[in-house]
Structure 1
């Protein structure tokens, strides 16, 4: 498969630890759990993706459900989802009165895939400009999108604990050699920080729990010695710049577990 095909697919898709702490199955036995969101919640980047939404049992949501045996588990997260997709498709499918809801959303709205594509194929200056374009969207348009999404979740599940998880910084910036220049890596990470800060602000305003995964991914970005994220991936191309199995197990799952405990 050519590099161009891989990048086109990227745009269109937008050793595991055994000691991760978790709530006991008894504590979760009566919990109705719903996993909403985009590819970072569906499990893209990990083995075993299936269906149009590319859901994987290695996703943090599926792993939490397996470890904790909730009363019900609705896995509604879907690769490529934007806030409008959560509003139009995922929230309406939610079981009314859910007790626990988790979500990652906003990255596709802010242009994650087109930004990465631009940075892979263009100059440092063009990459930085594209990241700044995304930052402007996050500052001016995304807050309203998140507000509408969070309102819909609260209305559908008024008594639920809602956990909004962050995105990681994609790139390691200590490695001298990488598939992107240092300028591009820092620009993309800066864009991720801006996005996460806005998501945290809006989630907190709604009384939701913000679960920050960035600390868990520190030292494990793309090009690190032990990355928790995939770099540019040929087969399957949608795995590019998404967490690998370790990323979900050691990065995302502990953050959800801590937020729920």
Structure 2
């Protein structure tokens, strides 16, 4: 009698576990309603294969949001990230397809607000002292002004997609220091640029956490693949110049995609 009860209990537990697994499978892999927001790093500038319909936004089929969507077949995919976007552009231009039905949102934003394009132009074409001064200016902006801008963007994202899981994806360090580059920026300038990237990621991660969002850190995944490493996943100066200092297709698939997937 006791064995029968035990067997029945075990059978019930097995059936319950199987049903839970069957039920959990679709819930975990259910087709998300996914919205991908942000700047050129989210749009995939530098990875090629641009969608001509996206115009100057230069959205790529090799960008991490498009790669994730191809792997997971979301029920809907609103890809509104755009080259050159700042936090204000996310609020004003990228949230039109986000709603209470949206279940997953990714966003990479903040680098343009901090003026990183101008930072790199200054560092490439001017003296080391000019570079270090411009980096210091950018870091001051990141520390003092960017948090409020991120708060406004994150508040708007939550308001439009209150039930979505939001994954904020950061930026890589640019350089291996010391590295194998001959010429170009000095190690002091490269270290300063890396320090600014760390500062930017730190502020973004803090603001994301305070809003209850996940933060996907790509820096470790790009370690060994920075500029001046043996296998860079970032472009240096390019023609056209808009791809300069952006991830390659390998950077999107090998760096950004797994970082985002781990948090999605």
TM-score under structure 2 normalisation? 0.86
Contact 1:209 1:259 in 2 (8 A): yes
Shift of 1:27: 4.2
Contact 1:28 1:71 in 2 (8 A): no
The corresponding residue for 1:101 is 105
Moved more, 34-43 or 177-186: 177-186
The corresponding residue for 1:224 is 229
Moved more, 121-130 or 144-153: 121-130
Shift of 1:25: 8.8
Distance 2:180 2:247 in 1: 22
More helix by share: 2
The corresponding residue for 2:247 is 243
Residues 194-237 of structure 1 show CA distances to partners (whole Å, capped at 9, x for unaligned) of 00000000000000000000000001111211001011112x32
Contact 2:170 2:216 in 1 (8 A): yes
Q: Looking at CA atoms only, which structure, 1 or 2, has the larger radius of gyration?
A: 2
Contact 1:38 1:80 in 2 (8 A): yes
Shift of 1:189: 0.6
Change (3 A) 1:88 1:102: same
The corresponding residue for 2:36 is 35
Moved over 4 A (4+): 24-27
Change (3 A) 1:254 1:25: farther
Moved more, 62-71 or 180-189: 180-189
Distance 1:125 1:111 in 2: 18
Confirm whether residue 255 of structure 1 aligns to residue 262 of structure 2. Answer: no
Shift of 1:121: 1.0
Distance 1:47 1:176 in 2: 26
Distance 1:27 1:47 in 2: 31
Equivalences, count: 236
RMSD: 1.4
Residues 76-95 of structure 1 show CA distances to partners (whole Å, capped at 9, x for unaligned) of 00000000100111123424
Distance 2:121 2:59 in 1: 23
